[in-house]
Structure 1
Amino acid sequence: MMWNNSSIQNHNDSTGHINIFFVCMYSFISVVGFILNLLALVFFLHHANYRSQTIVYMTNLVIADVLLILTLPVRIYYHLGFDNLPQWLCEALGLVLKANMYGSIFLLTSICFDRCMAVNFPMSSRVQRGRKKAPLVCLGIWMLTFGASVPIYLSKHQQVTHIDCFDGLPVYATKPAVVLTTLFVGFGIPLVIMLICSWGLARAVRRSSVAQTDLVDGRKIQRMITTSLLIFILSFLPYHAILVLLSLYGEDIPYPMRAAYRYSLMLACFNTVLDPVVYYFTTDTFKMNVNMGAVRRMFLLNSQSSETHRSRIPNS
């Protein structure tokens, strides 16, 4: 890849020096993200029999997030000023990070689609049979993300030095044909599915007679839908918007655009901290509101019944 002189100078100035912001942010993501996802994994494994289809997707999402987080300590080491990393290690960790990032995108989309089908077609035997194929869907996602990523990284022909490492751009960020495929398959289609399913979930909640009672907090479910969609968009839209801009520059990419790419990638990695919010809403909202609401209503009915019975007993 060819760089202009000013870009090379800026790039050289960015290495060998501590980048406090990236060190702090990646350290925060590593520690907090690892703890939250580890707790989520323990919870899912302990409740493996509860809502098994959703748990399957969420367990795989936790694994993808943890694998992504495990690549971050080396990035922290690099941003501490230690730029003596071999290029093959940088590319291998970049491969793992990108594959798991897109794995997270596909799994979040699958969770949203699964919820939408379960809510809108609860009595459909065909839908229920399809939902039971969650393990096969997850296997397909792993095969797709790593299967599509490895050939792209192996096809790199340009000569690079160790100074590129995490400041360099992946090949799919500079080749228009690869960028378009990545944007369409890796982000465009999942975003459309997320939008349609979120609309379908919101519509089902508004029309549900159960949601109009005290058994289910419809507003909380609406917040769950909105939160999941916002997390998805805020985490991944900036990164893919930068990819579009990078593809327009061709090989002569200025340093500010490469810096913007690094910041957008960091924001995408921050999704590993936000995903547990999706876990909380998904596993808590329907379970706690429906079950606890029913218990409260039964308790109130029993209390009223007891009071009525006692009032009918004559005083001695």
Structure 2
Amino acid sequence: MQNVTLESKTEMCYNETKGQKNIIFVAVYALVFVAGLILNLMAIVVFFCQTKSRSHTTVYMTNLAVADLFLVCTLPFRIYYHYHKILSQKICEIAGLILLANMYGSIFLLTCVCLDRCVAVCFPLSSRVREGRKKAPLVCVGIWILTIGASLPVYLTGGKKGQQKHCFESFPYYAIQTTALTTSLVIGFGIPLIIMVVCSWGLVRAINKSTAVQTDNLVNSSKIQKMVSTNLAIFLICFLPYHVMLGVLHAYGNKIEDLSCSVISAYHYSLMIACLNASLDPLTYYFTTETFRKKVDMEVVWKLWPLNSHSSDGNNRSRAPLNT
């Protein structure tokens, strides 16, 4: 009986918005697509050109940029759907799979960036730490396998026979099951959050107490503090709403009939917010790597936007050097 009620509820909420053109979704996805495409392509070019000075942290960030690029390439499909409400269900499932894999891939990779910086600063002389950091490529391979493998059931085998599927507005049947939800909240979100908080605390403590770190030209305390706050902000802004909404949907349990369309809509908005990480992750690259700041001329990036293309006052301002 619960499945019938849930089906009718999903169908009713879908019909309420079927004829609408959701300007918010279209506008946000379009903005993320433009910004994410430009910034992540730029990041990939910068990282791959620095083969000689590539650090272990850069390996994680390169993989993060590639994952974000995959995500932004699916956003035109979401823009088209939210404007026309028509799109192949198979395309929707593939785009949803990429979003979910990117979400947890970003969570794990952001955690690795924070952890790598923490151990590098807190244990600079440890040979065991140096050897462990060299395994960054293997860690990235493991993250790709884990996130793709764990995401497949949600969009390919999670649905039950006879369920209505409405592309990006489908109800997350599989994701709110107890086993899947527990795994997502504990392994996919909770543990990485704890690691990031502990590592952030360790970094701040290290740079505040260590004179060597504060005076070392290779480790800038202000840069590390900005990296810490940026990582945590991106993590919480992008991924907390989605996992909160999964918990809310699961909390209804046998009271699906009380589930309002506004709650289901809030879940879909939380997925939209999760897509923001594709355009916010480059902030991590900017604050974390000296090479990225030196190679990327932010004045040129700013002028790429249409609103600023004619704002130049003709003055020749100094630019960042093009060599490291």
Q: TM-score per shorter chain, which class? A: 0.7 to 0.9
> Residues of 1 paired with 2:221 and 2:248: CA distance?
40
> Residues of 1 paired with 2:194 and 2:122: CA distance?
18
Hey, what does 1:281 align to over in structure 2?
287
> Residues of 1 paired with 2:159 and 2:144: CA distance?
22
Hey, what does 2:62 align to over in structure 1?
59
Q: CA deviation digits over 1:184-206, x for unaligned, max 9? A: 11101110110011011111111
Hey, what does 1:308 align to over in structure 2?
none
> Residues of 2 paired with 1:18 and 1:33: CA distance?
23
> Residues of 2 paired with 1:86 and 1:38: CA distance?
28
Map 1:99-118 → 2, pairs under 5 A: 99-118=101-120
Q: CA deviation digits over 1:112-156, x for unaligned, max 9? A: 111111111111111101100001000000010011111343242
CA spacing shift, 1:286–1:32, aligned 2, 3 Å: closer
- Which residues of structure 1 form unaligned runs of 5+? 289-316
Per the TM alignment, residue 233 of structure 1 is displaced from its structure 2 partner at its CA by 1.1
Identity of aligned residues (%): 51
Please tell me whether residue 265 in structure 1 is matched to residue 265 in structure 2.
no
Q: Which of 35, 49, 52 lines up with 2:52 in the alignment? A: 49
Per the TM alignment, residue 7 of structure 1 is displaced from its structure 2 partner at its CA by 5.4
Map 1:67-146 → 2, pairs under 5 A: 67-83=70-86, 85-146=87-148
Per the TM alignment, residue 44 of structure 1 is displaced from its structure 2 partner at its CA by 0.3
> Residues of 2 paired with 1:262 and 1:151: CA distance?
19
SS at match of 1:267: helix
User: Aligned AA for 2:268?
Assistant: R
State which drifts further: 147-156 or 193-202: 147-156
CA spacing shift, 1:199–1:172, aligned 2, 3 Å: farther
SS at match of 2:58: helix
> Residues of 1 paired with 2:38 and 2:12: CA distance?
39
CA spacing shift, 1:6–1:75, aligned 2, 3 Å: same
SS at match of 1:221: helix
CA spacing shift, 1:286–1:268, aligned 2, 3 Å: closer
User: Aligned AA for 2:143?
Assistant: I
> Residues of 2 paired with 1:250 and 1:160: CA distance?
18
Q: Which of 213, 223, 238 lines up with 1:235 in the alignment? A: 238
CA spacing shift, 1:44–1:242, aligned 2, 3 Å: same
Q: CA deviation digits over 1:36-79, x for unaligned, max 9? A: 01001100011132242111101100011111111111111110
User: Aligned AA for 1:208?
Assistant: S
Per the TM alignment, residue 255 of structure 1 is displaced from its structure 2 partner at its CA by 1.2
> Residues of 2 paired with 1:249 and 1:28: CA distance?
34
User: Aligned AA for 1:142?
Assistant: W
Hey, what does 1:199 align to over in structure 2?
201
RMSD value, Cα? 2.2
- Assess if the C-alpha contact under 8 Å between 2:59 and 2:137 holds in 1: yes
Q: Which of 25, 30, 43 lines up with 2:28 in the alignment? A: 25
User: Which protein has the larger Cα radius of gyration, Structure 1 or Structure 2?
Assistant: 1
Q: Work out the number of aligned pairs and report it.
A: 286
TM-score (norm 1): 0.84
- Assess if the C-alpha contact under 8 Å between 1:34 and 1:66 holds in 2: yes
SS at match of 1:80: helix
User: Aligned AA for 2:15?
Assistant: N
SS at match of 1:172: coil
SS at match of 2:53: coil
> Residues of 2 paired with 1:57 and 1:118: CA distance?
14
Hey, what does 1:12 align to over in structure 2?
15
> Residues of 2 paired with 1:72 and 1:4: CA distance?
27
Hey, what does 1:178 align to over in structure 2?
180
